[in-house]
Amino acid sequence: MKYLASCFALVLLATPTMAQSVGEKTGINSTLGITPATEDFVKQAAISDMFEIQSSQLAQQRGDAADKSFAATMIKDHEKTASDLKAMVSSGDVKVTLPTELDSTHQSKIDKLKALKSGDFSARYQLDQVSGHKDAVSLFERYAKGGDHPKLKEWANKMLPTLRHHFQMAQELAAGKTVGKH
């Protein structure tokens, strides 16, 4: 029975519906500095944008003044990158299917945020922003350096300064410093 369950799990992991390699999903590729496959990069970038937008919309409702200011920038900037990515896919430049909803990990984070109020909400939102932007910078750096789709690679490189700035802003927010705008 264990053998059958293991085989079933491997089949599920290999199916196109997963559309993401195990290495990218588990974070091992990031740890090892491995360039993500184009499909993995697009999926992770799209999910990151969706998470940033949804979590920041919650921060607009539940966060403190600093959270709300930061969240406004996140919504504006991540709607732009989501639009850029969608345009590349829609035009046929990038032949990948964009996810239409969050993966279970990010949905769980949203669900946790929805359950929190005031200070607890702010603390979790800020930690999620630091972690999420650290991951995004890693993802974009790795693809910009070694990705196999020239236009997408160029776009990833172009987005890096903004993502690095977001990461810095998130760290400052979590540290209780006044967050600068760009």
The confidence score (pLDDT) of residue 178 equals 60
CATH number for position 164: 1.20.1260.10
Region 128-135: mean pLDDT is 96
Tell me 2's DSSP state: H
The count of domains in the chain is 1
Region 33-56: mean pLDDT is 94
CA distances for 94 relative to 34, 39, 41, 55, 98, angstroms: 21, 9, 11, 27, 10
Q: Is 20 inside a domain boundary? A: no
pLDDT at 156 over 90: yes
Mean pLDDT of the chain: 85
Place of tokens 């519906």: 17
* DSSP assignments along 117-138, one per residue: -HHHHHHHHHHHHHHHHHHHHH
Q: Is 139 inside a domain boundary? A: yes
pLDDT at 85 over 80: yes
Single pTM value for the model: 0.80
Region 70-86: mean pLDDT is 96
At 21, the pLDDT band (50, 70, 90 cuts) reads very low
The whole domain housing 148 covers 37-174
**Lowest-pLDDT range of 21-25, 30-34, 37-41, 153-157:** 21-25
Q: Is 101 inside a domain boundary? A: yes
At 118, the pLDDT band (50, 70, 90 cuts) reads confident
Q: Is 111 inside a domain boundary? A: yes
d(C-alpha 38, C-alpha 27), whole Å: 16
**Residue 102 and residue 51 in contact, taking contact as beta carbons nearer than 8 Å:** yes
Q: Is 137 inside a domain boundary? A: yes
